[in-house]
Amino acid sequence: RKEVEQDPGPFNVPEGATVAFNCTYSNSASQSFFWYRQDCRKEPKLLMSVYSSGNEDGRFTAQLNRASQYISLLIRDSKLSDSATYLCVVNIFITGNQFYFGTGTSLTVIP
Amino acid sequence: DTGVSQDPRHKITKRGQNVTFRCDPISEHNRLYWYRQTLGQGPEFLTYFQNEAQLEKSRLLSDRFSAERPKGSFSTLEIQRTEQGDSAMYLCASSTPGVEQYFGPGTRLTVT
């Protein structure tokens, strides 16, 4: 069983739409959570950390549900520049200090 | 540029050859990670250093792979007797404890 599972998509949405991605993790000992954005043939870049209380950064909102072991990312008012792959990442300290990445969810925002 | 750097950016090699990649982390980061990423997949953890100590190695890291970080600064990843299945993007990331990772641009390896 994979540590992190994501729906690979693709998600094709029109500009201005709201889109949500979910990610589930299998290890309840997971302690830190992140969303990264990866453009085609580029390195992953941190989009936002995910806190237990939820957090918002402009058009992006991240939520963590520890009971159900899932993380979500909501993008409001989608822009063409949001087109990318979004990677869900969990960090588990108990098994060492490994970061586990999902396979990523592909988003294309259409004009 | 004070980000993570990797060299080379691209490497084409013939099967059976050895290759070595270099990663220079952000200077104040004591943790350094190596990942491998293939098309359509997320990065897969290979190994991790805290300062010069290699603390973890993935099962993915066969005995043909070796990594070093001799002075706790830059790191090298060597692949011996390369195979076609080694073709991938090799990513390096660095961090300070408990904080998010920052990635370098990666080294794209093609084994022919």
Nearest-by-CA chain B residue for A40: B39
pLDDT confidence tier of residue B37, bands split at 50, 70 and 90: very high
Calculate how close chain A gets to B21, using CA atoms only, in Å.
16
B10 pLDDT higher than 70: yes
The answer to whether B48 touches B55, Cβ cutoff 8 Å, is: yes
Residues of A within 8 A of B101 (CB-CB) are 46, 99
Helix (H, G, I), strand (E, B) or coil at B97: coil
User: B100 pLDDT band (50/70/90 cuts)?
Assistant: confident
The residue with tokens 């979910």 is A22
10 Å CB burial of residue B35 (0-12, 13-18, 19+) is buried
Q: Rounded to a whole number, what is the distance in Å from the CA of B80 to chain A's nearest CA?
A: 25
Kind and range of the H or E element at A48? strand A45-50
**Residue B86 reports pLDDT greater than 90:** yes
Helices (H), chain B: none
pLDDT score of B1 more than 70: no
d(CA A110, CA A87): 20
Residue B99 pLDDT > 80 = no
A-chain residue closest to B91, CA distance: A43
Nearest to B83 by CA among B17, B34, B27, B25: B17
Instruction: Give the mean model confidence (pLDDT) for residues B70-76.
Output: 92
> Which pLDDT does position A52 carry in this prediction?
85
Which helix (DSSP H) or strand (DSSP E) does residue B20 occupy?
A: strand B19-24
| pLDDT above 80 (res B35) | yes
Mean pLDDT by 10 residues, chain A (111 residues): 87 96 89 93 93 91 93 97 96 75 95 95
Confidence class for position B72, pLDDT limits 50, 70, 90: confident
